[in-house]
Amino acid sequence: MVWDVSFTCDICGKKKGEANHWWMAMLGDVPCYDEGQPGFRFTLLPWNAAESRNSDLYHLCGQGCVMQAVERFMTRGSIEIDMAATR
């Protein structure tokens, strides 16, 4: 996947501008978890130009989209919209 210099929010699709306060999020493994619980942790990182090209990271345009990403993570264990899981 080729990354352009411009980024789009993984939640709402907004394009990143110079003055936006963007964040990055990633899902990582947890060493152990109870049965029936998500096997991931949600990590929120301040925007970092060097790390922003890491394809493991989600790009979030602001607090609203961060909250939405957390909500998706808590309800589905995933940040991406999974059409198959939509009820």
Q: Interface with Zn ion by CB under 5 A: which residues?
A: 9, 11-12, 14, 61, 65
Compute the least distance from the CB of residue 69 to Zn ion, in Å.
9
Nearer to Zn ion, 30 or 67 (CB): 67
Compute the least distance from the CB of residue 47 to Zn ion, in Å.
13
Alpha-carbon dihedral of residues 11, 16, 20, 23, nearest 10 degrees? Answer: 50
Nearer to Zn ion, 11 or 27 (CB): 11
Interacting residues of 76 by C-beta distance below 8 A, sequence separation 6+: 82, 85
Nearer to Zn ion, 14 or 76 (CB): 14
